[in-house]
Structure 1
């Protein structure tokens, strides 16, 4: 895939207040699930090329997109309680300003939380890992565990962690199909990541997934 060099942000995404409507995700392609499973690898080194809005849209949908009229999503959730939240830390995405965005599955939108490139701060919170600083964007999985534990008690925490695995594998496979690279990062300081993302009380970070072109 020939992608021109990144020339900086330009805000032409459809906006409604602080809500940015993403391109509609596709639901079919010529890239088989079997091929994605075979070719999936962890990628920690990225080029200096921006992602596109179509790619970001597809990755977010793969992780937590709504797939039915009654609100079911691409990844299973215990009791359909959906404790996960997704944040996109943008550095180089075409027509999307650098900053931190929260994904809203309902309406398939991004909500801008923080302006400005936060990748290096996030990398510092992740013990200085280069893949976090060098990625075009970083997908961060967080969880509001009480959504699940109020029904399932302490065992609900385990269900939340299992769910994160389901959703992150979706991202891995979708990234492979898009000829993109990613890796799961679990080594970070929870409080420091929470500070970078300005997470509300009761919401905890679980996974970082740097995204970019290998």
Structure 2
């Protein structure tokens, strides 16, 4: 399927890191409004974007082995059809996986956390553990959990700079999430992160 080239991410803004840290909160009440392809591109880049000619990324990775894979379940994104997409950091592109809005399915698979349905999209962090464990053995599993925390925090802070809300979800049925997103068998989901326009306080 044809890949979708994403808008180039920005690397500078007038929103300070300190301000983002101070204002960051988990958001579970979304307005249901659409977000833009530019905003999605910026969020995905913050999660795993490449930031140097030698392939280093926005989040540190043990041994620079990068076990994380990012999947996007888009529901209400201007300029992007509802569907499941895989993010490819090397080209900053999306590869379509399947058509259709999967937000409700993901919410039910997340032990019925139906508030997730009102987010514009859900960013899903998965990992191919063997990329790290082949070098570090079982200790590599701990490194992967550390890494997904780095990556998810990047998305939380980037969401704040864009005026968006995000929340981390760790309670879900692994097998159902993997099936809904058509993940490769060697990959397992670690984190769901709904993102969207927050309701006014």
TM class by shorter chain equals over 0.9
Provide the residue aligned with 2:143 in structure 1: 159
Residue 18 (structure 1) shift: 1.9
Provide the residue aligned with 2:112 in structure 1: 128
Instruction: Please tell me whether residue 22 in structure 1 is matched to residue 6 in structure 2.
Output: yes
Provide the residue aligned with 1:8 in structure 2: none
Provide the residue aligned with 2:42 in structure 1: 58
Asked if the contact 2:108–2:114 (Cα under 8 Å) also holds between the matched residues in 1, the reply is no
Residue 23 (structure 1) shift: 0.2
Q: Secondary structure at the match of 1:26?
A: coil
Residue 201 (structure 1) shift: 1.0
Instruction: Please tell me whether residue 33 in structure 1 is matched to residue 17 in structure 2.
Output: yes
Provide the residue aligned with 1:6 in structure 2: none
Provide the residue aligned with 1:111 in structure 2: 95
Structure 2 unaligned spans of 5+ = none
Q: Which 4+ runs in 1 deviate beyond 3 A?
A: none
Structure 1 unaligned spans of 5+ = 1-16
- Correspondence for 1:207 among 188, 191, 196: 191
Q: Secondary structure at the match of 2:98?
A: strand
Distance 1:110 1:80 in 2: 22
TM-score (norm. length: structure 1): 0.91
Q: CA RMSD in A?
A: 0.7
TM-score (norm. length: structure 2): 0.97
Alignment of 1:123-202 (within 5 A): 123-202=107-186
Residue 131 (structure 1) shift: 2.7
Distance 2:8 2:65 in 1: 24
